[in-house]
Amino acid sequence: MNRISIKLGLLFLMFILIIEAALFFYLYSGLANTRISEELESLRLRGNSHREVLEKHHDSATLNHVALMESEAETDVVITDKTGGIISSSRPLIQGARKAVEKWKGKSLTYKGEIMQGDWKSTPYIATASPIKKGRQQFGTVYMFKNTNDIHEMIARLQHHFYVAGAVSILFSIVTIFALSKFITAPLIKMKKATEKLSQGDLSVKLGAHSRDELGQLGMSIQSLANELQRLRKERNEFLSSISHELQTPLMYLKGYADVARRPSNTPQERDKYLAIVEEEAGRISQLVKDLFQLAQVDQHTFFIQKQKVELATYLHTICAHFHLALKEKEMELDISCSQGLYISLDPERFQQVIINLLDNAMKYSKEGTKIDLMVKKSAESLTITLKDQGIGIPEKDLPYVFDKLYRVEKSRSRKSGGYGLGLSIVKEIVEAHGGEITITSETGKGTTVEIALREDG
């Protein structure tokens, strides 16, 4: 009972049985009532037929002939005069027929005939009466009787047919419904097993698109989830390997140069040189730990933004001033295009990380002597910050993933040019926390353009 196919099958079966029972009852009642009505109408018309003969020839020979005809039939006839006295009847007569005639004596009848007894369930007969008239004067009545045994047998046969049809219908419904429920639930069971494999860490899930309905879409969603988890696992392993390498190298340098700096034979200049290297490597470790901490904050939803009004031109020039020496060293030019007196609400410290990260990437992956453009444009509803470089660009296949956590475009970057795959994911979180949107377009060998759209009220 815990299987969905059984529950679904029983639910469908219950509804089908209710519908079938209602339909069979309606059909049975309709057929039974129709057959009873036909029997009564046939008996009434038979009485009218005798009445018409007697209206033309009302003599003893005709009376005996009518009585003789009904003696050989399944019906009985009783003919009375105008006072209700019996003048002729068939043999054998249905029990109680004469008493019924005495009871009905004097009743007003229409010329088309009347059904005197239509209750076939509790009485042994059904009966009709047809008045014999000349002009407007009634001078007799033809009473027709029929035993209800034949009607009961007919109803019994009809019930038997319905029982057989009902049993076959129920059996066919059971087989069909459980087969259909099995067919419907088979993909669900397959998806359940797939999700169990995913929960156990087995990502080798293969769910084909067996249909285009909701079940097919669900299967495709689970397959997409498995594929995405596989990609994330691969990226995570690469990231952990990269982090292990990035930590191992500076730690090795720290230990090695610390040991060298402690030698008594070192001159002050050599000691300062070694200590500077130690300081540099310690800074790299500190930056890596800081990025990892920020990433953890993002994942734990503890990333807060404290906005304040900022004059954008002064703000951007202050940040870019930190890159003056690095730009000069690479003989690169940074052109800032931003109108004075343009204010926007943002978190100065957090948003500074965005500009620094983007400028740092632009410098790392641009050749010497190239140019970086930082432009700000204002529209009616938003403010757009665009940073465009003339660097090596990003391959088209990597563009959809550049903001993913732990993703690095160039897996073989050196320690000097490579990053940790954290910067752009943190940049995206900061921009979205400001209510903005960031997009990247790039062409290999021609450069990269980053656009940040911020609402002026945000």
Q: What is the pLDDT of residues 241-290, one digit of tens each?
A: 767 766 776 787 788 878 888 888 888 888 888 788 888 778 777 867 77
The DSSP secondary-structure symbol of 255 reads H
Whether pLDDT at 377 is above 90: yes
pTM of the model: 0.45
Say if residues 311 and 341 touch (Cβ distance below 8 Å). Answer: yes
CA dist 105 to 95, 115, 304, 324, Å? 18, 14, 104, 129
Helix, strand, coil percentages (3-state) for the chain, rounded to 5, are 55, 15, 25
User: What does the block give as tokens for 313?
Assistant: 């031109």
**pLDDT bucket at 166, cuts 50 / 70 / 90:** confident
Say if residues 378 and 439 touch (Cβ distance below 8 Å). Answer: no
Which residue, 152, 150, 132, 133, is CA-closest to 141? Answer: 132
Residue 131 to residue 106: CA distance in whole angstroms: 11
User: What does the block give as tokens for 393?
Assistant: 């660009």
Whether pLDDT at 9 is above 80: no
Residue 414 has what pLDDT? 42
Residue 299 has what pLDDT? 60
Q: Which of 33-42, 78-87, 146-155, 194-203 has the lowest mean pLDDT?
A: 194-203
**pLDDT bucket at 208, cuts 50 / 70 / 90:** low
Report percent pLDDT > 70 for the chain.
88
Residue 419 has what pLDDT? 52
Contacts for 347 with CB less than 8 Å, ≥ 6 apart: 305, 306, 307, 308, 430, 434
Going from the N-terminus, what domains does the chain have, and what CATH number goes with each? 4-154 (3.30.450.20), 236-299 (1.10.287.130), 308-455 (3.30.565.10)
Reported in sequence order, the residue ranges of 118-210 that DSSP labels E, i.e. its strands, are 125-134, 137-147
User: What does the block give as tokens for 315?
Assistant: 């703000």
Residue 131 Cα to chain centre, angstroms: 72
Residues 328, 329, 331, 334: what is their CA dihedral angle, to the nearest 10 degrees? -40
- 96-122 as b/e, with b when 16 or more CB fall inside 10 Å? ebeebbeebeeeebeeebbebbeebee
**pLDDT bucket at 137, cuts 50 / 70 / 90:** confident
Tell me the one-letter amino acid at 249: T
Three-class secondary structure of residue 396 per DSSP: helix
